């Protein structure tokens, strides 16, 4: 069943086009990786889906309902949660307080404080620590855990590994597998191609705000991704392949 449908979305920053006539679908329980060079429109598309950026054209349909004009807080209540680039934690609050912030918008479901601490075991001993004192990987785990506390049906993850040491990325992705196995639908922006291909069932590559490549992760090679990043062969047959 299709959970998210993005239909012909155009989004801008002022007069500058950022997303151009993008359409994609994400099935319930699917993990999709959204890749592309810096400035390709990935973050803008995620923010548009989350309600933090309004499109100038097109629709966002969630579970069959048009949510294009629903504000961001309303979409959280419907089951859409965004983990933004840079994490944006409350640095003066403890880990536990940051996690509990999301309880006000919590939907019924299996993600509560105990479940989050089970999935992200590194956070359990850090509960009384201020979020501002944590490492980048620890902060990323808190940010994902905070989003999960709302019991989302769709989890949007922006630049999951950006700025993190490899050992921290390993820890975050180990915990993310628990989230995937729990059946949460995920749309993931990731610069690390190997990580993206390892966790996702399907890959969508943006180039200059447009979909340049869409294919099952198992069918994507590094060469095809490089071609998509560079715009090679966009006019060729079979460039976009459904998953």
| pLDDT (tens place) for every residue of the chain, 243 residues total | 999 999 999 999 998 999 999 999 999 999 999 998 888 999 999 999 999 999 999 999 999 999 999 999 999 999 999 998 877 899 999 999 999 988 877 888 889 999 999 999 999 999 999 999 999 889 999 999 999 999 999 999 998 888 788 888 888 888 888 899 889 999 999 888 888 888 999 999 999 999 999 999 888 887 887 787 776 654 333 334 333
Kindly report the pTM of this predicted structure.
0.88
| Cα separation, 71 vs 170, whole angstroms | 34
* Number of domains the chain is built from: 1
Q: How much is the pLDDT for 236? A: 38
**Residue at 172 is within a domain:** yes
Do residues 105 and 147 make contact, with C-beta atoms less than 8 angstroms apart? Answer: no
| Cα separation, 117 vs 167, whole angstroms | 19
Q: How much is the pLDDT for 241? A: 39
**Residue at 167 is within a domain:** yes
Phi/psi at 87 (5° precision): 75, -45
Question: Which CATH number belongs to the domain containing residue 192 in this structure?
Answer: 3.40.50.300
**Residue at 152 is within a domain:** yes
Q: How much is the pLDDT for 242? A: 39
**Residue at 238 is within a domain:** no
Q: Which of 62, 58, 45 is nearest to 3 (CA)?
A: 62
Q: How much is the pLDDT for 37? A: 87
Do residues 98 and 162 make contact, with C-beta atoms less than 8 angstroms apart? Answer: no
Compute CA distances 173 → 75, 192, 203, 237, whole Å.
Answer: 26, 12, 17, 35
Could you tell me the residue range of the domain that residue 158 belongs to? Answer: 2-230
**Residue at 224 is within a domain:** yes
**Residue at 206 is within a domain:** yes
**Residue at 123 is within a domain:** yes
**Residue at 26 is within a domain:** yes
């Amino acid at each position: 069943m299709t959970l998210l449908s993005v239909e012909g979305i155009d989004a801008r920053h002022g007069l500058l086009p950022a997303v151009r006539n993008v359409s994609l679908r994400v099935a319930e329980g699917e993990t999709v990786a959204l890749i592309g060079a810096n400035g390709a429109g990935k973050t803008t598309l995620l923010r548009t889906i989350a309600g933090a950026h309004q499109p100038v054209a097109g629709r966002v349909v969630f579970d069959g309902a048009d949510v294009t004009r629903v504000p961001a807080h309303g979409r959280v209540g419907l089951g859409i949660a965004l983990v933004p680039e840079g994490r944006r934690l409350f640095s003066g609050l403890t880990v536990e307080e940051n996690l509990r912030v999301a309880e006000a918008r919590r939907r019924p479901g299996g993600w509560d404080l105990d479940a989050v601490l089970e999935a992200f075991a590194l956070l359990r001993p850090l509960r009384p620590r201020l979020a501002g004192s944590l490492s980048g990987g620890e902060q990323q785990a808190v940010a994902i855990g905070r989003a999960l506390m709302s019991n989302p049906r769709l989890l949007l993850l922006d630049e999951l590994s950006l700025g993190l040491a490899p050992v921290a990325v390993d820890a975050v992705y180990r915990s993310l597998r628990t989230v995937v196995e729990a059946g949460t639908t995920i749309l993931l922006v990731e610069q690390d191609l190997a990580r993206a291909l390892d966790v996702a069932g399907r890959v969508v590559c943006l180039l200059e705000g447009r979909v340049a490549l869409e294919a099952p992760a198992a069918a994507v090679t590094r060469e095809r991704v490089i071609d998509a990043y560079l715009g090679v062969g966009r006019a060729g047959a079979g460039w976009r392949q459904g998953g």
